[in-house]
Amino acid sequence: MAFRSCLVRLLLPMAALLLLAASSPAAAQLVAGYYSKTCPDAEAIVRNETEKIIAAAPSLAGPLLRLHFHDCFVRGCDASVLLDDPNGGNKAEKDAKPNRSLRGFGSVERVKAKLEAACPSTVSCADVLALMARDAVVLAKGPSWPVALGRRDGRVSSATEAADSLPPAFGDVPLLAKIFAANGLDLKDLAVLSGAHTLGTAHCPSYAGRLYNFSSAYGGADPSLDSEYADRLRTRCGSVDDTATLSEMDPGSYKTFDTSYYRHVAKRRGLFQSDAALLADATTREYVLRMATGRFDGVFFQDFGESMIKMGNAGVLTGAAQGEIRKKCYIVN
Ligand code: HEM
Ligand SMILES: *[C@@H]1O[C@H](CO)[C@@H](O)[C@H](O)[C@H]1NC(C)=O
Ligand SMILES: *[C@@H]1O[C@H](CO)[C@@H](O)[C@H](O)[C@H]1NC(C)=O
Ligand SMILES: CC(=O)N[C@H]1CO[C@H](CO)[C@@H](O)[C@@H]1O
């Protein structure tokens, strides 16, 4: 193991250099070990800091994973999600409705400050998000995957764009598939990455529509939601206006990255319509039911890493001509 990781540490930077040399700047790609020369401790700094953050607040693992997802789906993985509205208003990506429940901004800023102290203006905020998402999953007992690096930070962030590009909680598979396809992700990725809902919590307005006033039949509830479970959720989430109550998407193990999310979905206890929708399409349904057996945890871990790598490639800015390396993640240079 030690030998293997040693070898990997030697070989990956070499492969990275070869790739860099082979590709023209215009077609620059993300590469493993991108900072091995310019900031050799970059990945260790991120890992060490993320460890401290999660040790102090285990519930941040989900939000850190979600930040990378929201970043990648709007303008590509360019850390636009971290920017404040430059005019002090509420027109930035993070101010968009689906984004208003995002957390973890302070933690990202703290890690970025450590990186700036070690290697100024070198490691992009977009790469920090990709690394922290991976490390958060590992710390929640989930899989690890190699994160190729070299993303650069964008200079634009827009609330309206975020509202249009992010999948809504009420999405059905055709809509979700369309939004995923725009980011180079297919139906399998949709089934796999929805498994991220094994971590974290949701605010009542994200699912209250399924409990109240959904349809005049079924007493106003969403018929695709297990009725006993709906009763239980109603005791927690009193109305569509309740913004204080939190519920887990994977009750019982919402701090552990595992396949139990799929068992809830298979029992018609997925929290969002988008979770329930996975049962309505043959491809996603097959995946949910297979993972729900609990006999394919290793497959899910492998799949999740592969889909995260794909997501992390979405619309990236690379090469000196594109974007910048922000000094602070909430403001352009
Ligand atoms: C399939 C489309 C998706 C939809 C419709 C969706 C929707 C949502 C919603 C509505 C919430 C709750 C927000 C709140 O009320 O606080 C949430 C939370 C979360 N989502 Fe998703 N999501 C999707 C895909 C993803 C993906 C691809 C990831 C990551 C790879 C992800 C990771 C998370 C995490 C970790 C949380 C919990 C955050 C926390 O604890 O604060 N989601 N999602
Ligand atoms: C990370 O933490 C490990 C273990 O505590 C330590 O040995 C290492 O020097 C740290 N690395 C950096 C770059 O902070
Ligand atoms: C119920 O739904 C109808 C039609 O969509 C809407 O006009 C009404 O405001 C909703 N009521 C509540 C309490 O959300
Ligand atoms: C980072 C950020 O802008 N977060 C905001 C999200 O929305 C809530 C209100 O819903 C604000 O309180 C946060 O400041």
Domain boundaries, the chain: 2-167, 184-305
Is 203 a residue of the active site? no
pLDDT 10s digits, 315-331: 999 998 999 999 999 99
d(CA 16, CA 180): 28
**For the residues of 160-223, what is the DSSP string, one character each?**
HHHHHHSPPTT--HHHHHHHHHTTT--HHHHHHHGGGGGS-EEEGGGTHHHHSSS-TGGGGS-T
Q: Cα 228 vs. chain centroid, distance in angstroms?
A: 30
**Pocket residues for ligand 2 (CB within 6 Å)?**
41, 44-45, 48
Produce one character per residue of 139-170: b if its CB has 16 or more CB atoms within 10 Å, e if not.
bbebbebebbbbbbbbeebbbeebbebbbbbb
- Is 215's C-beta closer than 6 angstroms to any atom of ligand 3? no
Please choose from 35, 41, 48 the residue to mutate so as to test ligand 2's pocket, defined by most ligand atoms within 8 A of CB.
Answer: 48
Per-residue DSSP letter, 281: S
- Which ranges of the chain does DSSP label H, i.e. alpha helix? 2-22, 42-56, 61-73, 105-118, 125-139, 159-165, 173-181, 187-193, 208-211, 227-236, 260-266, 273-277, 282-292, 297-311
Q: Which two three-digit tokens encode residue 196?
A: 């991220």
d(CA 311, CA 182): 11
Q: Tell me which residue of 331, 319, 304, 311 sits closest to 140, measured CA to CA.
A: 304
d(CA 44, CA 47): 5
Do the first three CATH levels of 2-167 and 184-305 match, i.e. the same topology?
A: no
In CATH terms, is domain 2-167 a member of 1.10.520.10? yes
pLDDT 10s digits, 142-201: 999 999 999 999 999 888 888 889 999 999 999 999 999 999 999 999 999 999 999 999
The correct CATH number of 184-305 out of 3.40.50.300, 1.10.3210.10, 3.90.640.10, 1.10.420.10 is 1.10.420.10
pTM: 0.89
250 appears as a binding residue in the annotation: yes
Residue carrying structure tokens 């050799």: 40
Q: Tell me which residue of 68, 53, 58 sits closest to 255, measured CA to CA.
A: 58
Query: Which of helix, strand or coil describes residue 328?
Result: strand
**Pocket residues for ligand 1 (CB within 6 Å)?**
62-63, 65-66, 69, 101, 103, 167-169, 171, 176, 190, 193-194, 196-197, 199-203, 206, 272, 274
Predicted local distance difference test score (pLDDT) of residue 2: 45
- Is 293's C-beta closer than 6 angstroms to any atom of ligand 3? no
Predicted local distance difference test score (pLDDT) of residue 1: 39
pLDDT 10s digits, 100-153: 789 999 999 999 999 999 999 999 999 999 999 999 999 999 999 999 999 999
pLDDT over 60 (residue 220) = yes
Percent of the chain with pLDDT over 90: 77
127 appears as a binding residue in the annotation: no
Q: Which two three-digit tokens encode residue 1?
A: 């193991």
Ligand closest to the CA atom of residue 83 = 4
> Which of ligand 4's atoms lies nearest the C-alpha of 84?
3
> Which of ligand 3's atoms lies nearest the C-alpha of 209?
14
